[in-house]
A and B are shown apart, each in its own frame.
Chain A
Amino acid sequence: MHEDSNRHAYSFLTPPEVQFLDAAVERLIPADELGPGARDACVSYYIDRQLMSNWGMHGRNYRMGPWAEGTPQQGFQSRLTPQEIYRYGIADTDAHCKRQYGKAFRLLAADQQDEVLHALEKDAIELPTVPAKLFFSLLWRNTEEGFFADPVYGGNRDKAGWRLLGFPGVAASNYNELMYTQTTAYRVEPVSILDIREQRVALDNQGYPKHVPLADAKDGHGSH
């Protein structure tokens, strides 16, 4: 499929970096009985596209010095851009994994991968270039974005994130009535901007999509 080949056309990330990210994001949001995980939702591809955007170089951030670390309340103070944080963070983490486990991150067992991710999150690993916690927090932020943002950005493939929650995507124009009458879960085929752009959905005269109920609609979903 045309779309599929496009998804593998990475512009910033190298193949080993993609493999690292595929492994990492799949631990952050794993595939399970509820549906696909972040790898199959193409979160790595989402991250690649974000890194090639203006944001990948923090184009709208204040980037003048002097640079100082500051307090946690003072927020992001790194001079590293997202492009650099990913590039060096992946290399540094892989180097750590090779020292600690004798293998690259992507080749570790799932529980070892979790161990590494927890250590990054808690800043328990000293990486030479990128502060571990900074790398982890960016990775988690982008994973959530890539799993739940509109598929127009390359992630949330087949609207996996929205199906997981029961989020309908682009709103229909009848919520004002539905809000008061719908006491069970509103289960429809989610609609993305991409769906509308590619004319896969009917629109009403206000330009809002007409939602189509899911055949297997039932109350809520997920177990716990």
Chain B
Amino acid sequence: MAATKLKAVDAVVVGAGLAGTILCKSLAETGLKVVGFERGRMLDAQHDFAMPYAHDELKYDRHSDILQNLSRETITFRNKMSESALPMRELGSFKPGECVGGAAVHWGVHARRFLPWDFEVRSRTLGRYGAAQLAADCTSQDWGIGYDELEPYYDQFEHLYGVGGKAGNLNGEIQAGGNPFEGARSREFPNPPSKATPIGQLFADAAHQLGHTPFASPTAAMTQPYTNPYKLMLGECVSGGFCGSHGCAQGAKASPLNTVVPALGRHDNFELRTLANVVKINLDSSGKRAIGVTYIDARGREFEQPADLVVLSAYTFNNVRLLMLSGIGKPYDPVSGTGVVGRNYSYQSHGKIQLFFEDKIFNPFMGGGGRATSIDDFNGDNFDHAGLGFIGGSYLAAQSSGAAPIKNKPVPPGTPSWGGAWKKAAAYWYNRSFSLNLHGACQSYRDCYLDLDPTYRDANGLPLLRMTFDWHDNERKMLAHAMEKTAEIARALKPAKTGAHGLSAKYSIVPYQSTHNIGGAVMGADPATSVVNKYLQSWDVNNVFVVGGSAFPQNSANPPTATIGALACWTADAIKEQYLKKPGLLV
């Protein structure tokens, strides 16, 4: 079927999630004619997430239509290159979004900046420890941008999303109460930190005793009523749980829906086209210039939307897949180690220690809103790695996430998995336990990558993205080290019982871990090892920008979204201030 050709516009943005909406707004402000494409539907937060329907664990954890509909499109997965990849047939390890707002509608609002070290993993490791510290097949690299350069954009994103926290480093001066390991901030957070919850306080006291420095985790759930720079108002979070995986009934959790989308409506030159699935970026005959995108609407009709500028912000997976489907950039070949598109896919490592108490009651259903107390003493390169045999680290946290009952019924090790004894244990410990969570970094490796699957196709007949990924020894050692440190804190809390859950022997697509999929279209200073330059501009097709976690060359222990937001603001600025004035390769 021939595509209907539409009237040309100046710019298109593919994917209206966290990064895409920021780009849409910024481009719309220039007066250019801009169309934002979103494969999912528009949400009406007031009705979609109305009380009491928002407090439905079954729906939002497992069945909601704001999650990606895998019947139309999924990825395939294998642990290693010698296996055949098979489709991820049901959602598990991660939960990409499919609606205006993307995964940031149902995110968990932990809004941490990356550490300065994260941007210079390779050079700082070589400088401090020498080449022997890095695994031979580790392909982690510097970002081509430093923390200091990105700082103003972190600040911009935090004000857009109303992040609450306490600065630990203001212009180089360490501040009491904050995270002393963070990079220097130019000013305080826009909102105050959340107050330590009872489990946060227990954790803080124990960590402090052991010489660590606990602080309130930065959160993008409002710690007080807030008006953002677009004059949009967000209410204060009531800690009612039903937060991660859920849309917020109160609009207290910052998401594209309450921080940016309403402001897009103020621009007549902007159009948000929903239920529009972009399948290709079209190039001119030279292959060096994008001339627009092709998309398929809900009825299956194909359209061609010409445009002078294309911004991809379709989450890591479709950023990478659309580059491949469109023939932009050289696909990565893990055998020769050449090519770039799909290279350095990475994830997030994790573990937890469950603590069970006879003499304490926690009311664990109160929480959500990113209420957590954490330490960064074992994050990044904040501790000496000499002799440890690994790089990177983890942050440790006690999180009051709001324990809903289908998923959260910890029982001590040795408890039968069902039956009368299980029932008694689940009932007894529900109110008497909490976890210490470890969120770990993940380096990139030669054999962890994305490419197009040779067998499986989506509903439009296009190849699915194939993920080849497993944990490597560096992450196993790093997590084991962090588990030991966490166990020390756990012991200081004197629980009656503990249950330790470290990194799985192999990465599995089955249990939910995190929607922190990164890499595959990484940024850098060298076109031989990066897909985009430091402005997230394609080296090969200069009027294409690729924005999102896809740009991270490897993953930090910290969750990705604040950095995705900062990069989106940074790229938006580069397009506005530099590219539009003088289209061409930015340097």
Contact = CB atoms under 8 A, between A and B. Distances in A.
A185 B88 contact: no
Interface size class of B (residues with CB under 8 A): 35 or more
Contact of A165 (B90, B198, B237, B430): B430
A109 to B, nearest CB: 15
B92 interface: yes
For A145, A176, A223, the residue with the greatest tally of chain B CB atoms inside 10 Å of its CB is A176
A207 B56 contact: no
Contacts of B428: 220, 222-224
B41 interface: no
A68 B86 CA distance: 8
A117 B22 CA distance: 52
A12 interface: no
Contact of B510 (A75, A117, A150): A75
For B88, B457, B507, the residue with the greatest tally of chain A CB atoms inside 10 Å of its CB is B88
A169 interface: yes
Interface stretch (A2-10, A14-22, A27-35, A87-95): A27-35
A178 B366 contact: yes
Contacts of B197: 179-180
B509 interface: yes
Contact of A148 (B50, B83, B405, B455): B405
Interface string B56-76: 111000110101011100100
B419 A153 contact: no
Interface in B422-470: 422-428, 430-432, 455-457
B361 interface: yes
Nearest to A114: B419
Interface string A55-67: 1001111111010
B292 interface: no
A28 B85 CA distance: 35
B75 to A, nearest CB: 9
Contacts of A55: 62-63
Given A60-B71, A176-B239, A165 B58 contact: no
Contact of A207 (B51, B88, B239, B242): B51
For A144, A170, A197, the residue with the greatest tally of chain B CB atoms inside 10 Å of its CB is A170
Contacts of A209: 52
B79 interface: yes
A96 B52 CA distance: 45
Interface in A44-102: 53-55, 58-64, 66, 68, 70-77
Nearest to B195: A180
Interface of A: prevailing SS:
loop
Contacts of B456: 62, 64
A121 B419 CA distance: 13
A170 to B, nearest CB: 4
Contacts of A221: 427
B79 A208 contact: no
A62 B453 CA distance: 15
Given A34-B427, A222-B424, A61 B363 contact: no
B247 to A, nearest CB: 14
A186 B51 contact: no
B175 interface: no
B86 A166 contact: no
Contact of A162 (B53, B236, B367, B405): B405
A171 interface: yes
A71 B83 contact: yes
Given A28-B418, A62-B71, A220-B432, A152 B56 contact: yes
Given A74-B77, A178-B366, A184-B361, A60 B405 contact: no
Contacts of B418: 27-29, 117, 140, 143
A206 interface: yes
B508 A185 contact: no
Contact of A70 (B65, B71, B86, B409): B86
B70 A61 contact: yes
A172 interface: yes
Contact of A193 (B56, B69, B74, B509): B56
A216 interface: no
Contacts of B65: 60
Nearest to B406: A148
B417 interface: yes
Given A62-B88, A170-B55, A164 B423 contact: yes
Contacts of B387: none
B421 to A, nearest CB: 9
Contact of B361 (A64, A75, A197, A219): A219
Given A75-B509, A165-B405, A193-B55, A175 B238 contact: yes
A168 interface: yes
Contacts of B110: none
Contacts of B69: 60
A75 B51 contact: no
Contact of A30 (B88, B420, B431): B420
A224 B425 contact: yes
Contact of A169 (B55, B62, B400): B55
B470 to A, nearest CB: 8
Given A74-B85, A145-B62, A185-B363, 19 more contacts: A34-B424, A55-B62, A58-B89, A62-B70, A62-B456, A73-B509, A74-B509, A75-B510, A117-B418, A149-B58, A150-B57, A166-B430, A167-B405, A175-B241, A176-B238, A193-B52, A206-B238, A220-B431, A220-B432
**3 A-B pairs with least C-beta separation:** A171-B240, A222-B427, A207-B51
Interface of A: 27-30, 32, 34, 37, 53-55, 58-64, 66, 68, 70-77, 114, 117, 121, 140, 143-145, 148-150, 152-153, 161-162, 164-176, 178-180, 182-186, 191, 193, 196-197, 206-209, 219-224
